[in-house]
Chains A and B, each alone.
Chain A
Amino acid sequence: MHPFIYHRPANVNDAVTLAAKGPDHKLLAGGQSLVQAMKLRLSSPSDVIDLGSIKDLSGIKASGSEVTIGAMTRHAEVEKSPEVRKAIPALAALAGQIGDRQVRAMGTLGGALANNDPAADYPAAVLGLGATIVTNKRRIPADEFFKGLFETALAQGELITSVVFPVPKRAAYTKFKNQASRFAIVGVFVAESSSGVRVAVTGAGPCVFRQKDMEKALAAKFSPESVAGVKQAASGLNSDLHAGAEYRAHLVTVMAKRAVENALK
């Protein structure tokens, strides 16, 4: 690891001011991606701004129709939260499938979204539930947030403060894990709410995406059979040592079907 200057601001304004000083000033949330990259000397920020002391960024609030989760809330907190388990059990279950115990103890919702790893789990829930990403500047609908491979709508100096998840009628997330890393080779989040059905797919492509053909089929009838025959095109999907595009495309259908089954349980 190269030397760097460590900051631990107490509020969002100070954090944003520090972060705005240059591209070598990096925000540190749970550190599950940034610190690894720094250890491997692949990333060498001049300044690291640790968000861990900003109390406002952490915590879970549930109202009847929404669950609001602070950006610095750890995966393990979401996994174990009685409020989340009651309102959106699929979201708690998803958090419980991220990485391993150590990762879940440190990793955060905001960090995962800002990083937007193509194989991360949270983007599927955020897009699948049609959540709203709240930053220090604005509210960004999920549909406008995920822009591409490790790319988001966040501007320089913009910091996620919380995410507002609407409570669905039913939802489920089914993940096909990479044997080695346990990241999603394909993860499908299915949600049915008063505003319709959403199907979000992570792992399969360069960025999380909605599977609109499946959404249509499920809107007509929310049952596993509705998606079992809906094929995902392989073109544009990821292909690597572990899974080719064709296999990933196939898994999108299988995982979607199983997610619907689970949502109906």
Chain B
Amino acid sequence: MNAPLIGARIPRKEDYRFLTGAGRYTDDVTLPHQTHAVFVRSPHAHAKIKSINSSRAKSAPGVLAVYTGDDIAAAKLGGLPCGWLITDVNGQPMKEPPYPVLAQGKVRFSGERVAVVVAETLDQAHDAAELVEVNYEVLPAVVDAVKALAKGAPALHEVAPDNTCYVWALGDKSAVDAAFAKAAHVTKLEFVNNRLIPNAIEPRAANGSYSRADDSYTLYVASQNPHVERLLMTAFVMGLPEHKVRVVAGDVGGGFGSKIYLYAEDVVVTWASKQLNRPVKWTADRSESYLSDAHGRDHTTTAELALDKDGKFLAMRVKTAANVGAYLSTFASCVPTILYATLLAGQYTTPVIHCEVTAVFTNTSPVDAYRGAGRPEATYVVERLVETAARELKIDAAEIRRRNFIRSFPYQTPVALLYDTGNYDATLDAATKMADVAGFAARKAEAAKRGKLRGLGYACYIEACGIAPSAVAGSLGARAGLFEAGEIRVHPTGSVTVFTGSHSHGQGHETSFAQVVADRLGLPIDSVDIVHGDTSKILFGMGTYGSRSIAVGGTAIVKALDKIVAKGKKIAAHLLEAAEADIEYDRGVFTVKGTDKKKMFGEVSFAAYVPHNYPHDKLEPGLNENAFYDPTNFTFPAGSYVCEVEVDPETGVVRIERWIAVDDFGKIINPMIVDGQVHGGLAQGIGQALTENCHYDASGQLVTGSFMDYSIPRATDVPMFEVDTRETPCTHNPLGVKGCGEAGAIGAPAALMNAITDAIGAKDLPMPATPQTVWRAIQNEKAA
């Protein structure tokens, strides 16, 4: 028997191909008779399209076709659907304006697709795209959610004249108001959770092809969930039967949420491939990604925390305007509601909470889930309030948290979630110890001697992963299921191919999932391959987002493994001439209870496929099982981050001196991969707090349109992370796993902003805390 694989730091199986250039990304796929598409995009944020003249473009060299919104309308293609219906405070459905794949008469954000040029070569398509003449009547634009709600603001959609998609609320408002009325202290903050642009290393790409032979389509696409992409595209947009469409998302170079959604480009290249009877490829350049990928965050929030004189939380009241952009992206509606307000209890026993969210249309790129999706915004609200309250009440910031921690599980929060398990003291105690909080005062004094301002900040976050169960999600408006599927195909000589509906685009599933399977079957990890990302191979899948893969996809695999083992026991019983009830199984070995009689897994699988000696009267040959798993609850990873910064008061530059992260992800399959996920998440959270900001000017032009102006963190912007874990296994999945992909991005911004505000003595500071922002705040504090 091999050494246990669960919990082992096994190097990633997929890295060899990634690091040696053997990966196969969508743009690497070039099909016979390939053509190339370039989209003509609106230069205006809001304009009527008076006319489009594409005759010059059509006659340009190499051009095969130019399509506009009229062609799409004539073909009766539907608009892009939204996957989650939110019901507003008055019981009305949210406003769902059409989201055409090519603009119909009007454009509503800079970068919106107006036409597509398909040509023999990419250069020809680019040249011809410049020849498409679009006559616009420019309209006033609005990019800010709060301004879009003001009377007289430019209206984007006829169905939403006040730009309001919905006003939604959660919690007992009167109980919250009553608690505030009696509170000894109220802490109030108003802030913007800054808009972010996702930056996967591989931009979006799609290559659609059509087969006249059997009237079928294949779409190669950089997607996080090919089955969902197929479902939405066939059922809602193109009116095609699913069995005629294959979606392949092979190697995908990062997503962070931005590749969950069905995008217009994917539909257009698929549709155009039939019109031309040739494959049509489109790959975004970085500037195009900036303009047209779904952005993240963009909340304007007023948040209040009511406390008694001892720092016990009594109530929380939150009001948020969430910018959803010009159209509803696939999951835009559930991010600032279901994935946000439900997290406002955090790790605390706050008895009553009320949150009201207004989702607002603006002349900006659609906003949707981005690493963390609602949960970073919620954690920022909770953890900035808590830290600020501690300062106002002169209670130690760790102590105020301990006074309010949830310690009894399961715990029903006042905002719908039921936490199954957790141990918040364990992570906070470990983090404060690792951070040497006791020595902070001395370090601060030493820094002051050098003219530097030192600060310390905490964040104790909670995360809800693996949205579930489907029935509950459905009752809350989800228009899809939230299960996962897995299949174990055991080959005759005992090696195994695993098919998973989860999708790996950087997460390392090919290794961690293989560890789960190889461990259970007693196989070397190289005997197990993971296949994902192809609707023609995998029975079904909901894909990867919301840190769901190991908890939901991994469990589906375990359920399939259970069936493999159950059938294997039957076969082994026959081979060993024993009763099935007497067969015991442990990591690849079937034993007759109380004896040394045994059969190895490979012998059993061989018997299944070469069934000469086989219980044909009771069993089918073969060893191939699948399972669908619909979880009974979310999982609830949690953790404590401590960040220590030094601010240069002369320049406002913030340097992160130390970063301690102690997370509870339940059981861990591969600690090395988990470390990497935490590091990446922290870097993205630090990016939000320190460097990243998507900025549109008042006319709706994207000012931060490239890496020249949009600043993602570099290696020198982040410290050496000191990470550790504590473990309370999830109680409702067999692996005891919770998920780890988003934690860093969820907890980091609050910890960092808490540290910076501590250093400079400001109550609040807008993100990102750029040098100028910090310097100005220091000047203001001096003046005050």
Contacts and interface: CB of A to CB of B under 8 A. Distances in A.
B127 A2 contact: yes
**Majority secondary structure of chain B interface residues (helix, strand, loop or mixed):** loop
B717 to A, nearest CB: 8
Contacts of A242: 709, 770, 772
A85 interface: no
Contacts of B438: none
Nearest to B693: A241
B650 interface: yes
Interface stretch (A59-67, A103-111, A120-128, A175-183): A175-183
Interface in A223-250: 241-244, 247, 250
A86 interface: no
A179 B703 CA distance: 15
B776 interface: yes
A251 B651 contact: yes
A134 interface: no
Contacts, number: 39
A247 B774 CA distance: 11
A181 B710 CA distance: 8
Given A2-B127, A179-B691, A241 B775 contact: no
A247 B709 contact: no
A251 B648 CA distance: 12
Contact of B775 (A2, A41, A178, A247): A247
Given A179-B770, A242-B772, A247-B772, A254 B650 contact: yes
A181 B130 contact: no
Interface string B325-369: 000000000000000000000000000000000000000000000
A243 B772 contact: yes
A31 B772 CA distance: 32
Q: Which of under 10, 10 to 19, 20 to 34, or 35 or more describes the interface residues of A?
A: 10 to 19
A248 to B, nearest CB: 9
A38 to B, nearest CB: 12
Given A2-B127, A41-B130, A254-B650, A180 B708 contact: yes
Q: Which of under 10, 10 to 19, 20 to 34, or 35 or more describes the interface residues of B?
A: 20 to 34
B121 interface: no
Contacts of B708: 180-181
A244 B707 contact: no
**Majority secondary structure of chain A interface residues (helix, strand, loop or mixed):** loop
B772 A180 contact: no
Most chain B beta carbons < 10 A, residue from A40, A180, A247: A180
A179 B695 contact: no
B650 A244 contact: no
A181 B707 contact: yes
A176 B651 contact: yes
B413 interface: no
Nearest to A39: B285
Nearest to B772: A247
Contacts of B770: 179, 242
A219 B403 CA distance: 62
B651 A180 contact: no
Nearest to B130: A41
Contacts of B776: 247
B635 interface: no
Contacts of B709: 180-181, 241-242
5 nearest interchain CB pairs? A180-B711, A179-B711, A181-B708, A247-B772, A254-B650
Interface of A: 1-2, 40-41, 176, 178-181, 241-244, 247, 250-251, 254
14 contacts: A2-B127, A179-B770, A179-B771, A180-B707, A180-B710, A180-B711, A241-B695, A241-B704, A241-B709, A242-B709, A247-B772, A247-B776, A251-B651, A254-B650
